[in-house]
Amino acid sequence: MSSFLASVEKRAFKQSVFAVRNDEVALDIVQDAMLKLAEKYSSKPAGELPMLFHRILQNTIKDYFRRQKVRSTWTSLFSAFGSQDDDDDSDLLETLVTEDTSNIPASPAAQFEQAQLLEIIQEAIEGLPTRQREAFMLRYWEEFDVNETALAMGCSEGSVKTHCSRAVHALALSLKAKGITL
């Protein structure tokens, strides 16, 4: 179990950051998902763990958004009672700037160029609708097949194919508009 969790932690964190756009919250979500997997499914065969984990991760992300919706409703209802001087300068759209330690170019100029390219691709992925981003990340980042992705997302295989096709098309158009061809 621990080797499986170690193998998916970075990808799960990145996927959570894409979804919630907050580093600390994404870390909490991944930790919660890992704990739920370990507590409830530690006796399952290793082959079932990836699909179970990603389903738990997606459900944990959805739970976060549900809690935020309830909190924001109550906050907005009672915000008239608070003072106007309490400004919250936190930006929810900030994302983690990570260094990619694999395939690091030798020259600083090439490293800078690669970092810019990765940032543009990351922004394009973040711009995808939620279901398309989820399908794209599971299929191409996690390398799930169509059936595994459908099980993890709780939808049909046809929906996975549609979401992936639309995501790839949207990413290609977005990157092409910025002059990037891969």
pLDDT of residue 179: 84
- Using DSSP, state whether 77 is helix, strand or coil: helix
Q: Residue written as tokens 């065969």?
A: 45
Angle among Cα 145, 150, 154 to the nearest 5 degrees reads 155
Q: How high is the pLDDT of residue 111?
A: 79
Considering the domain 1-75 in this protein, what is its CATH number? 1.10.1740
Class of domain 107-182: mainly alpha
Instruction: Please report, for the chain, the start and end positions of each structural domain, with discontinuous segments joined by +.
Output: 1-75, 107-182
**Global pTM?**
0.49
Give the pLDDT confidence score for residue 131 in this predicted structure: 92
Q: What is the pLDDT of residues 21-43, one digit of tens each?
A: 889 999 999 999 999 999 998 88
List, for residues 71-128, the tens digit of each pLDDT value: 666 555 555 444 444 455 544 444 445 454 555 666 788 778 888 888 888 888 888 8
